[in-house]
Structure 1
Amino acid sequence: MKGVVATREIDPSYRLPVRGLFPLPPITASVFGQELLPAMVIPNIGGWVGGLLTRTEVEGAFSWYERLKKPSWRPPNWAFGPVWTTLYCGMGAASWMVWRQGGGLNGVAKVPLLLYGSSLALNWAWSPVFFKLHQTGWGLGIISALWLNVAACIGAFYPINKVASYLMVPYLAWLSLATALNFCIWRDNPKADKM
């Protein structure tokens, strides 16, 4: 019949076929909504809160951050939001893969997930310390510890789920850039906490 559209019910137990070198946990509609999506949103919540808390220190021609001496190679301010959102989603997906395949906190994933949790805590602590408190030296210490933590996290994720460890590599690369930027700001602005 003309004008009639056939519809098909979506089976909530349908599992996406996954083949190849890197097996992933099966994803159903309920697993996506109840596990994967929250795992991707949780890291972003800390980023959003940190952004709201430190916005006045970053935005505007006379803000604290704009008055600092910064290297010419620093990324533009507008790039940080999209990059961090993408990284947080990848981190969350990686943690979910390890959670599912490693038995959660009661399985082999316990130490990798604790490392991941501590990386979130360090990540979320950095913005207020650096931007709100203007403590570039303490910020450098936190971000250096975070870099080591994420490197360990990648190594701990690898035996459980290789894709999860690969998803953390862009995060480590961005942290390398951010650590170098923090170092330059600390070195070139010895009185940043007084500004």
Structure 2
Amino acid sequence: MASQTRTIQVLGLAVMIAVPLLVGFLGSQATSEHTDGWYSEAEVAPWNPPSWVFSPVWTTLYIMMGVAAWLVWRHRHAAAVRTALGLYLAQLVLNGLWTPLFFAGYPAWGTAALWGAMAVILGLILVLALTIRAFWPISRLAAVLLLPYLGWVAYAASLNLYIAIAN
């Protein structure tokens, strides 16, 4: 019985980490040709990091997100878990929508795509803050694991805003 429970926990952790990594991978596939296109020539914020920084930061954040979701999922019999994980999935959808809208949307819709992406990222910040608040009573560690992600998304929003204004 204990080994079955351990197997379920390990599989749950693997799935919870794989889901955000998959979202990130799909986003990168939808945008890879555009980062060498319009984005490489766009006027970016002076505080914009070098391109090579994004992949390791996002990979780390996606793993932390997965661990956080797993910590909450482990309490799956608690009533608040369904709401908390529902918010988590909603922020994951917004995360997955932002990347292709921002990068692939610009060639088709111009600046409107950048402003649309800005609206999505602001929605992501709101839903992510609600997710952290919902995670807190279930697992404080899970909530804390999402704080660097919230900080990075707020930083990304500042980059998005600058690019929308400057381009």
1:9-158 aligned within 5 A: 13=3, 28=6, 30-59=7-36, 63-103=37-77, 107-134=79-106, 135-158=113-136
CA distance in 2, matches of 1:114, 1:143: 18
- The corresponding residue for 1:176 is 154
More helix by share: 2
Tell me, yes or no, if the aligned pair for 1:154 and 1:165 is still in contact at 8 Å: yes
Max Rg structure: 1
Q: Which TM-score applies when normalising by structure 2?
A: 0.91
Deviation of the 1:102 alpha carbon: 4.1
Q: Give the paired residue count.
A: 160
More relative contact order in 1 or in 2 (CA 8 Å, sep 6+)? 2
- The corresponding residue for 2:109 is none
Unaligned runs of at least 5 residues, structure 1: 1-11, 15-26, 190-195
CA distance in 1, matches of 2:80, 2:125: 23
Query: Helix, strand or coil for the counterpart of 2:74?
Result: helix
Indicate the RMSD between aligned Cα atoms, in angstroms: 1.6
Query: Helix, strand or coil for the counterpart of 2:143?
Result: helix
- The corresponding residue for 1:19 is none
Runs of 4+ with deviation above 4 angstroms: none
Tell me, yes or no, if the aligned pair for 1:102 and 1:160 is still in contact at 8 Å: no
CA distance in 2, matches of 1:32, 1:110: 18
Unaligned runs of at least 5 residues, structure 2: 107-112
CA distance in 1, matches of 2:57, 2:137: 27
Deviation of the 1:100 alpha carbon: 1.0
